Amino acid sequence: MRPDLLSEVMGLPPTERLELIEALWDTLSPGEFPVTEEERRALDQRIAEMETSPGDESPWSEVKARLAERRS
């Protein structure tokens, strides 16, 4: 990465940096994310667990609340 580009980006306010991250993220396609065999096995295992026990999931609001509780 060009050092001058990174310096320019770091000079942006946090909200603009987040907007830039989102815009860059939207330019990527799934094929551009390399997944290792270990990651693929972990993902396959999680999908299998989800399909085997579909009622074990928690809504995002509950997960977020539990994480916030751990931080305090």
- Taking the mean position of all CA atoms in its chain, how far away is CA 67? 16
Burial of 69 (0-12, 13-18, 19+ CB in 10 A): exposed
Q: Return d(Cα 40, Cα 37) in angstroms, integer.
A: 5
Prediction pTM value: 0.48
pLDDT in tens, 44-71: 999 999 899 888 888 899 999 999 999 8
Quote the pLDDT of residue 69: 92
DSSP class per residue in 46-60: HHHHHHH-GGG---H
- Taking the mean position of all CA atoms in its chain, how far away is CA 11? 24
pLDDT in tens, 5-39: 999 999 999 999 999 999 999 999 888 888 999 99
